[in-house]
Amino acid sequence: MDVKKAVADAKGGAVEFRVEKAGIVQAGIGKASFSETQIRENAKAFLDAVAKAKPAGAKGTFVKKVALSSTMGPGVRIDPSNALAAG
What CATH number did the domain enclosing 28 receive? 3.30.190.20
- Per-residue pLDDT tens digits for 62-85: 778 888 888 888 988 988 777 666
Residue 87: pLDDT over 60:
no
pLDDT digits (tens, 9 = 90+) for 10-56: 666 666 777 788 778 888 888 888 888 888 888 888 888 787 877 78
Amino acid, single-letter form, for residue 63:
V
Structural domain including 22 reads: 3-86
DSSP codes of every residue in 57-77: T--S-S---EEE--SSSPPEE
Count of the separate structural domains present in the chain: 1
